């Protein structure tokens, strides 16, 4: 034990310069993109604040090796920024917020209405009218996002998933345990995705958004008919309760695991992305800690059987941090590599590549609303 304590300072010293390099690699791309977008409406100082936060997240995760905790802080901050700027509409109107008023394309809506987008794209192409074609093409940017971020989109980039993650992380221990029911319903999001793809296409309406989405609480997508609107309100309130209370009580991301069709979308298309959680069965003691720590029911574990990491894994890193034997780690297509623990060689670890790539992606995505949210808050306070 004394030998380990003596080695720790040297290990940390060897990581100081590599961590600084990692900070720069995380900070610069986000700032270049964020500054370019934000400066058209507000001061680039807000872009600088967000970019520094993204860079700090990368630095802290790299230097300490504790990815999960810093990921959650970054993830929840993104979600808060999105809520403040795009969803607290009444507050924004009261304080006359001026920047980025438009609502962004929602990845959940695009996933469940993708057949609609394909059909609209076909009509736009046949018309030869670029003005009709170009806006619809934005849907294909979400396909690129799916392939680029892979399954990690749901734990690093989704501005709705961050809400679920926040409430699931409040308690130290779960009040309820519904593992058997949750695993029995684990493929329900895929069924939900297929159902709403067909229903949305037949009606040419964003049906999931109209009836199940818990995030339309500012009034958009509500029907003008009072009777239908009341039904929508009841379903929306029920979904919000499900999102908040069940995630809080289970200490699991209940909405993301059971009701979000985009999670199924990511599980299917995210296979193309190379990053995975790797598992070393020789180190495993079958303690089950990783299974208990997974917030999205993406692990199948039974004593005496090989641990299975399901396609629903979104690379949040909770199991990696929780495993006492270091049997789990980030990998590329689960190919085993010997990770370098310190020095510049650590920059070449699969974990470092993963954190850097997803942080740059999520940081640039967050640039579309987090700096604006900071501006909004400052404007309200002043």
Longest Cα–Cα distance in the chain? 74
In a 13 Å sphere around the CA of 132, the CA atoms on its Cβ side amount to 13
State mean pLDDT over 137-152.
Answer: 74
**Confidence class of residue 139 from pLDDT cuts 50, 70 and 90?**
low
Q: Is the pLDDT of residue 76 over 90?
A: yes
Q: Residue 216: what pLDDT?
A: 64
Q: Residue 155: what pLDDT?
A: 93
Residue partners of 31: CB distance under 8 A and separation at least 6:
47, 48, 51
- Between 218-232, 252-266, 326-340, the lowest mean confidence (pLDDT) is in 218-232
State mean pLDDT over 102-115.
Answer: 72
Burial class for 299, CB neighbours closer than 10 Å (0-12, 13-18, 19+): buried
**Confidence class of residue 94 from pLDDT cuts 50, 70 and 90?**
very low
Residue 216 CA from chain centroid, whole number: 19
Please state, for a pLDDT cut of 70, what percent of the chain lies above it: 86
**Confidence class of residue 237 from pLDDT cuts 50, 70 and 90?**
confident
The reported pTM is 0.85
Q: Is the pLDDT of residue 101 over 80?
A: no
State mean pLDDT over 175-189.
Answer: 87
Q: Is the pLDDT of residue 89 over 90?
A: no
Q: Is the pLDDT of residue 106 over 90?
A: no
The residues pairing with 331 across neighbouring beta strands, listed in sequence order, are 276
Comparing CA positions, the residue from 341, 290, 352 lying closest to residue 15 is 341
Q: Residue 131: what pLDDT?
A: 65
d(CA 221, CA 367): 25
Using H for helix, E for strand and C for coil, what is the string for 60-128?
Answer: HHHHHCCHHHHHHHHHHHHHHHHHHHHHCHHHHHHCCCCCCCCCCCCHHHHHHCHHHHHHHHHHHHHHC
- Under DSSP, is residue 149 helix (H, G, I), strand (E, B) or coil? helix
Q: Residue 63: what pLDDT?
A: 92
Q: Residue 294: what pLDDT?
A: 93
Polymer length in residues for the chain: 382
């Amino acid at each position: 034990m004394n030998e380990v304590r003596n080695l720790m300072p040297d290990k940390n010293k060897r990581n100081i310069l590599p961590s600084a390099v990692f900070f720069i690699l995380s900070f610069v791309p986000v700032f270049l993109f964020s500054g370019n977008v934000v400066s058209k409406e507000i001061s680039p100082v807000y872009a600088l604040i967000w970019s520094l936060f993204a860079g700090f997240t990368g630095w802290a995760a790299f230097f300490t090796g504790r990815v999960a905790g810093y990921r959650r802080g970054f993830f929840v901050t993104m979600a808060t920024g999105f809520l403040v700027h795009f969803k607290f509409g009444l507050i924004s109107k009261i304080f006359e917020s001026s920047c980025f008023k438009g609502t962004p394309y929602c990845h959940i809506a695009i996933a469940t209405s993708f057949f609609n987008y394909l059909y609209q794209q076909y009509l736009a192409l046949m018309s030869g009218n670029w003005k009709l074609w170009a806006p619809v093409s934005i849907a294909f940017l979400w396909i690129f996002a799916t392939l680029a971020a892979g399954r990690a989109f749901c734990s690093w980039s989704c501005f709705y998933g961050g809400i679920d993650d926040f409430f699931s992380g409040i308690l130290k221990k779960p009040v309820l345990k519904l593992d058997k029911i949750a695993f029995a319903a684990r493929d329900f999001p895929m069924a939900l995705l297929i159902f709403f793809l067909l229903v949305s296409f037949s009606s040419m309406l964003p049906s999931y958004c109209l009836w199940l989405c818990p995030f339309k609480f500012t009034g958009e997508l509500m029907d003008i008919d009072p009777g239908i609107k009341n039904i929508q309100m009841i379903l929306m309130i029920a979904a919000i309760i499900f999102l908040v209370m069940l995630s809080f009580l289970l200490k699991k991301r209940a909405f993301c695991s059971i009701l979000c069709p985009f999670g199924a979308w990511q599980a299917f298309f995210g296979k193309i992305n190379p990053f995975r959680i790797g598992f070393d069965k020789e180190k495993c003691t079958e303690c089950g800690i990783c299974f208990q720590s997974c917030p999205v029911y993406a692990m199948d574990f039974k004593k005496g059987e090989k641990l299975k990491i399901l396609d629903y894994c979104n690379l949040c890193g909770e199991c990696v941090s929780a495993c006492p034997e270091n049997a789990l780690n980030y990998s590329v297509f689960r190919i085993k590599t010997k990770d370098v623990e310190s020095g510049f060689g650590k920059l070449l670890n699969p974990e470092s590549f993963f954190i850097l790539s997803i942080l740059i992606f999520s940081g640039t995505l967050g640039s579309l609303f987090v700096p604006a949210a900071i501006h909004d808050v400052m404007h309200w306070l002043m």
